[in-house]
Amino acid sequence: MNHPAAAPATALSLQKLFGLATATASRAIECWTNGTVSLAMEDLHEAPLEEAVAQLGVSEERAVMILLGIDGELTGDFVLCFGERDGRLLCSAVIGMEPNEDEAWSELDKSALLETGNILGSAYLNELTALLQRQLVPTPPQFVLDFGSSVVEQVLLPHGMLSDSVFVARTAFRHGVDRRLDAQVLFVPGPALRDVMEVTIAGR
Amino acid sequence: MITLVETDYKCEPVGMGVISVVNHPHEMYSVLGSCIGVAIMDPRAKLGAFAHVVLPQSNGRGGLPGKFADTAIPHMLELLKERGASRRGLVVKIAGGAQMFASSGPMQIGESNAAAVRHAVRGAGLAIHAEDVGGTEGRKVTVDCATAQLTICRVGQPEIVI
């Protein structure tokens, strides 16, 4: 089956949904980082699969990622991706210490990022659960240090078996008022979850 | 989209679904997860093609010829022939096909991609000379068509050359 492109109304509704979810996630991360880090959705659009990695702005260099799956009947993947330098900056905001400059990631830094992934993932999933009235079960978060685009590619490819396009939501992370962080959030619903989202949105 | 690189680039990034063709001294690279990088090189002509293959089969779907294993290989051979490569002496090497997620799930795309590329290469009457496929980590692969070598980097591991 090749999933057809979504109607423009679906894109608008998804934009509204992810705008709300991002606002919830931003409140959660502001609370978690003592007000130093915030996020906002910049735009959402449908892109050809092969252009999605470039449009998301995910680095080809080493990046730290927190992966969170959705298990059960409705599946999906949630990825929080940081350039290494800004991942360490986020850790320092969470832990309240100067950024660790060692090449290796300490267990404390990993733990801070894992918890950040948990908080952000839960904020997004709570909004989705409220909209869909269906239970979404997150898996434990996983810390990964790898080439950013190679991991995102692996998340997107199962979706590519069914559809030639994906929705790309660009999210800006900010540290303080004006410093933009090298960070992205990626959410890829599995086929059943995507169908439920589209049906729910069409019925609203 | 097909990119023919002349003299402006030193090392051409090859994105998902793209096929690039370059002459020495230029090189090409891709960062690969579950996708497969396929290099078909004519070291005598110092010419090579590199495809960033995304999915195993086109099954009538449109899109870039480099996106699918079954359409990429014939297209690469056509491009190399147009640029004067000799079919005799072509060297084929592949890398990629990582599988970080769902190791027991039904959609093993990295493995499926590798199998489809091997099948397409055999179907074109060629052999694969070397491969670095599978595992759970991404790879950065750089192609040198003069030596017909692929240099492969993985995070936290020593670089290898195949």
Q: B76-116, pLDDT tens digit by residue?
A: 999 999 999 988 899 999 999 998 765 444 457 889 999 99
The whole-number pLDDT of residue B127 equals 95
Return the residue in A3, A61, A67, A154 with the most chain B beta carbons within 10 A, the one to mutate for interface testing: A154
Give residue A78's pLDDT band: very low, low, confident or very high (50, 70, 90): confident
Does the pLDDT at position A163 exceed 90?
no
Chain A CB contacts of B16 below 8 Å: 49-51, 53, 153
Put simply, the answer to whether B109 touches A158 (Cβ < 8 Å) is yes
CA B123 from chain centre, in angstroms, equals 16
Q: Would you state the pLDDT for residue B29?
A: 95
**Residue B42, CA distances (Å) to A85, B88, B91, B130, B146 in order:** 41, 9, 6, 15, 8
Interchain proximity A153–B33, CB inside 8 Å: yes
Contact residues on chain B for A151, CB-CB shorter than 8 A: 33, 100, 138
DSSP state of A3: B
Per-residue confidence (pLDDT) for residue A57, from 0 to 100: 75
Measured CA to CA, the distance from residue A142 to residue A144 in angstroms comes to: 6
Q: Among B108, B155, B157, B159, which would you mutate to test the A interface (most chain A Cβ atoms within 10 Å of its Cβ)?
A: B155
Show which residues on chain A lie within 8 Å of chain B, measured between beta carbons: 2, 48-51, 53-54, 60, 62, 67, 69, 77, 144-147, 149-155, 157-158, 160-161, 164
* Structure tokens given for A152: 């995102």
Band the pLDDT of A90: cuts 50, 70, 90.
confident
The model carries a pTM of: 0.84
Q: How confident is the model at residue A195 (pLDDT cuts 50, 70, 90)?
A: confident
Among the listed residues B29, B18, B97, the one whose alpha carbon sits nearest the alpha carbon of residue A48? B18
Interchain CB distance below 8 Å, B15 and A54: yes
Give the pairing of strands B11-13 and B27-32: parallel
Average pLDDT (A115-119) is 87
- B12: alpha, beta or left? (left if phi > 0; alpha if psi -120 to 50): beta
- Residue A77 to chain B, least CA–CA distance (Å): 10
**B145 in catalytic set:** no
Least confident of A123-127, A133-137, A162-166, B45-49: A162-166
**In 3-state terms, what secondary structure has residue A114?**
helix
Q: Looking at residue B66, what DSSP letter applies?
A: G
Which chain B residues are Cβ-neighbours of A155 within 8 angstroms?
101
Mean pLDDT within A126-149: 88
Look-up: residue for tokens 């051409």?
B12
Asked whether this complex has an ipTM greater than 0.85, the answer is no
pLDDT tens digits, residue range A14-73?
788 788 888 888 888 888 888 888 888 888 777 888 888 887 777 788 889 998 888 888
